[in-house]
């Protein structure tokens, strides 16, 4: 049965580490979809560090712009870790600065459709970028809005949502259920 699990939190909150732990508990063979691009030496170092921390038998596929196409080609029932939605949306924005919203919206819808069509156990990592100050520049505000909406769409479709704070996952669906009582 298809499952969608979302891990969100701030920078360096431990969300990728927690998502990797969760993925490891689901299956031995994990497909890791990486959205980061090495634009400079520091980013390449971050990518190398992430790669070195993952089990070597995990399959890594780089998909900085069209993660949905990669998902649509995976074997039915695959366990997939998409890290991260934040960079995917950033990449799409920078590639389509004039009208990014329809492009991002289409990619999010395609990700959700592929997850269902391929019966994937999809684990998505993203950042909560709207918890800080309002960005000073228009492009930053557009980005914050795009990722905020994308996060909401993924969370609405997710079977479980975890907010990671200081390395500790908080089950948001469980909190939501408690508040609904």
Q: Which one is predicted more confidently, 49 or 94?
A: 94
3-state secondary structure of 152: helix
Instruction: Write out pLDDT tens, residues 9-37.
Output: 998 899 999 999 999 999 999 999 999 88
Domain ranges of the chain: 3-165
| 50 among known catalytic residues | yes
pTM of the model: 0.93
What gap in Å lies between CA 162 and CA 178, rounded to an integer?
15
CA dihedral 90, 136, 156, 124 (to 10 degrees): 40
Pair of tokens at residue 20: 């990797």
**Catalytic option among 29, 45, 50, 121:** 50
Indicate the CATH number for domain 3-165: 3.40.50.300
CB 6 within 8 A of CB 168: no
Instruction: Write out pLDDT tens, residues 83-134.
Output: 999 999 999 999 999 999 999 999 999 999 999 999 999 999 999 988 878 8
- Mark 12-32 as b/e (b = at least 16 C-beta within 10 Å): ebbbbbbbbebbeeeeeebbb
């Amino acid at each position: 049965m298809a499952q969608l699990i979302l891990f969100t939190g701030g920078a360096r909150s431990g969300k990728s580490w927690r998502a990797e732990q969760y993925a490891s508990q689901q299956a031995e063979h994990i497909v890791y979809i990486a959205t980061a691009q090495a634009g400079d030496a520091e980013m390449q170092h971050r990518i190398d560090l992430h790669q070195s921390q993952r089990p070597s038998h995990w399959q890594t596929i780089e998909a900085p712009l069209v993660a949905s196409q990669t998902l649509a080609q995976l074997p039915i029932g695959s366990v997939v870790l998409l890290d991260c939605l934040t960079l995917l949306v950033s990449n799409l924005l920078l590639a389509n600065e004039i009208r990014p919203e329809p492009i991002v919206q289409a990619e999010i819808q395609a990700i959700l459709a592929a997850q269902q069509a391929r019966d994937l156990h999809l684990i998505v990592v993203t950042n909560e970028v709207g918890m800080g100050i309002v960005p000073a520049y228009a492009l930053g505000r557009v980005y914050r809005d795009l990722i905020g909406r994308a996060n909401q769409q993924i969370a609405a479709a997710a079977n479980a949502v975890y907010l990671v704070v200081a390395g500790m996952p908080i089950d948001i669906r469980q909190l939501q259920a408690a508040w609904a009582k």
